[in-house]
Amino acid sequence: MTELTLVQAVNRALQQALRADPDVVLLGEDIGVNGGVFRATEGLIKEFGPERVIDTPLSETGIIGTAIGMALYGLKPIPEIQFQDFIYPAFDQIVSELAKFRYRSGGQYPCHVVIRAPYGGGVKGGLYHSQSAEAYFAHTAGLKVVIPSTPADAKGLLLSSIHDEDPVLFFEPKRIYRAVTGEVPDGDHRVPLGEAKVVREGSDVSVFAYGAMMPPSVKAAETLASEGIEAEVVDLRTLVPLDQTAVLGSVEKTGRAVIVHEAPKFCGYGAEIAALLAERALYSLKSPVVRVTGWDTPFPYALEHLYLPGVERITHAIRTAVRSS
């Protein structure tokens, strides 16, 4: 065990994968000599050389397109998109190519690329360094979407993604890259994909969150314990494939649900959870599902503290869910 920040845990996972398998290669902008703008790839070029830690020209479609070609050939590329906000030039490559290669070739060409990208707000990043774009990718068949919220999960989920057979979009909550530290197992630590985690048990209401929304969700739950409200907090961790059992099981127990994400509400990932509960757990529900999300606006710079869900709004939502029944 080593005490690490989330970004250090990402770095250790990459190091572990590069050491274990000569087919693993990293590519992206400023990831080599510079060690990545968030230092996620710090020191890796020194250990593994510029042939496996590749500084690329500035083109997201070029990065993802060449990564796909490498994967088709048999390598295990892990491209980095510097900010998730800049993933859109590669959207065609991800949605039309990466997601569909296995399917369209009848299984002849599995295409295992793990795309890492820091996402989310709270870093004074304005419109183009703050977005949460997970829903676009969760909507596309053929992709897995993973978002860790702790250093141990960052390492464990990233290593599982690298050892998976499917394309994975691995979105890292940059707001808590260094804000949280935690004990991280050394070596080949893996956390299975597709398994949510109950991080706080409770009997009155289920709070579903992921990534950077986990710390305020847990804090809100702890705050409300003094009011006699016991909230269960579930870290979804893998958005695709969704751990349906965990979601339904928790709501069957508590009868109430609050869903938290920083992406906008309309057609956000929370809508899928709400729909699942409406379809499968309606008779367990004692009160309407409540969503706490970013507003349906582009991400604002000066007012981000009012845009992002925080402890206050999550606390309010939990109270609303509990008291409206």
Tokens for 211?
């990534």
When the beta carbons of 14 and 168 are compared against another protein, the nearer one is 168
Which member of 59, 203, 297, 325 binds another protein (CB under 8 A)?
59
Which member of 10, 68, 184, 289 binds another protein (CB under 8 A)?
68
Query: In 203-306, which ranges are E strands?
Result: 205-209, 231-235, 238-240, 257-264, 290-294
When the beta carbons of 164 and 188 are compared against another protein, the nearer one is 164
**Contact call for residue 153 and another protein (CB under 8 A):** no
Sort 126 into a burial class: Cβ within 10 Å, 0-12 / 13-18 / 19+.
middle
* Category of 159 on φ-ψ map: left (φ > 0), alpha (ψ -120 to 50) or beta: alpha
Residues 29-58 that bind another protein (CB under 8 A): 51-52, 56-57
Give 118's strand partners.
172
* Annotated catalytic residue, options 129, 139, 163, 261: 129
**Contact call for residue 109 and another protein (CB under 8 A):** yes
When the beta carbons of 210 and 307 are compared against another protein, the nearer one is 210
d(CA 237, CA 154): 10
Which member of 14, 18, 75, 138 binds another protein (CB under 8 A)?
75
d(CA 13, CA 71): 19
* Local structure of residue 282 (DSSP, 8 states): G
Distances, alpha carbon 218 to alpha carbons 163, 232, 262, 313, in Å: 30, 9, 15, 13
Which member of 34, 244, 297, 325 binds another protein (CB under 8 A)?
244
Which member of 36, 122, 194, 294 binds another protein (CB under 8 A)?
194
Tokens for 221?
């739950």
When the beta carbons of 57 and 228 are compared against another protein, the nearer one is 57
**Contact call for residue 309 and another protein (CB under 8 A):** no
d(CA 62, CA 136): 20
Tokens for 195?
């398994």
When the beta carbons of 75 and 322 are compared against another protein, the nearer one is 75
Would residue 129 show up in a list of annotated catalytic residues for this protein?
yes
- In the complex, what is the shortest distance from the CB of residue 233 to another protein, in angstroms, rounded to a whole number? 23
Counting residues that bind another protein (by CB under 8 A) gives 49
d(CA 325, CA 322): 6
DSSP H or E segment with residue 24: strand 24-28
Which member of 16, 41, 93, 149 binds another protein (CB under 8 A)?
93
Which sequence positions are flagged as catalytic? 129
Query: Interface with another protein by CB under 8 A: which residues?
Result: 25, 51-52, 56-57, 59, 61-62, 64-75, 77, 89, 92-93, 96-97, 100-110, 141-142, 144, 164-166, 194, 240-242, 244-245
